[in-house]
Amino acid sequence: MTRQDLVLFRPRLALLNGIAAVAGHALVPDAAHATLWVALAGVAILAAGGSALNQVLERDLDRLMERTRQRPLPRGDLSPAMATALGCACIGAGLLVLAAGGPVPPLLGAVALAWYLAVYTPLKRRTSLALAIGAVSGALPPVIGWTLAGGAPGDYRIILLAGIFFLWQVPHFWLFQRRHADDYRRAGIPLFTPGAGRLGPSFHVRLWLGALAASVLLLPAFGLMGPRMAPWIAAVPLLLIPVCRPRSEATLFSCLNAFPPLMALALLLR
Domains and CATH numbers, the chain: 3-268 (1.10.357.140)
Q: pLDDT at position 247, please?
A: 61
Q: pLDDT at position 4, please?
A: 66
Torsion of CA 219, 224, 227, 230, to 10 degrees: -60
Q: pLDDT at position 35, please?
A: 94
Task: Give the contacts of 114 (CB within 8 A, at least 6 positions apart).
Answer: none
Q: pLDDT at position 99, please?
A: 98
- pLDDT, block means (10 residues), the chain with 270 residues: 81 97 94 93 98 97 94 94 97 98 97 98 92 94 97 95 95 85 91 60 80 95 91 89 67 85 92
Q: pLDDT at position 201, please?
A: 61
Q: Which of 210, 134, 219, 217 is nearest to 170 (CA)?
A: 134
Q: pLDDT at position 200, please?
A: 57
